[in-house]
Amino acid sequence: MSLRKILTQGDPTLEKTCRPVEKFDQKLHWLLDDLKETLENAGGVGLAAPQIGILRRVVVVEDENGELLELVNPVIVSREGEQGGWEGCLSVPNQYGWVTRPNLVTVRAQDRDGKFFEAAGEEMVARCFCHELEHLDGHLFVEHTDELYTPDEIDAMEAEEGEQEPPKARPQSRKQARKRGKKR
């Protein structure tokens, strides 16, 4: 296993469409292992292969138990509900935006040996499924938001609001606000 460099916004690799995985071989296993190691080192909650320069449909996503799910050739098979939240990306360092996503998302994918399975995720995991799968088609979360903020700017906005009822486009709780620190 080895740590890989995470590409950042502006790198043309992040704008390309990834190819499906056809061979479930050692090379794929190394890719998955590198994605997991690189993600854990960066302290994020999801990482897609193109973020480390590999144009294949492979992502890893942290589930609600803190385990890393390996998703090969993933597709979203259902979306339910809606959630708003701060979203960031390891490829867009120090920038967060308010993004609306479905609240419950089910994906169908293959595991590292090619076996098909489905995984359902709520809230943060649902958000992460959407975010990571978009990377595979060359899209970044910034396309879903008009404004980007640094963590300091978000803290300043929250301090200004004080104990008042938060406006719609703001985290609904301190817990949710802290989650913005998670990058994908």
Residues at the interface with Zn ion (CB under 5 A): 89, 184
Active-site residue, 132 included: yes
Least distance CB 75 / Zn ion (angstroms):
18
Q: Which of 62, 70, 87, 132 is catalytic?
A: 132
Residue with Cβ nearer Zn ion (9 or 78):
9
- Phi, psi torsion values for 42, nearest 5 degrees: -85, -15
Least distance CB 177 / Zn ion (angstroms):
20
Residue with Cβ nearer Zn ion (55 or 114):
55
Least distance CB 44 / Zn ion (angstroms):
8
Classify 123 in phi/psi space as left (phi over 0), alpha (psi -120 to 50) or beta. Answer: left
SS3 track for 95-115: EEEEEEECCEEEEEEECCCCC
What is the residue-wise DSSP string for 66-84?
SPEEEEEEEEEEEEES-EE
Q: Are 184 and 90 in contact (CB under 8 A)?
A: yes
Residue with Cβ nearer Zn ion (24 or 36):
36
The helix (run of H) or strand (run of E) holding residue 177 is: helix 174-179
Residues with a catalytic annotation lie at: 132
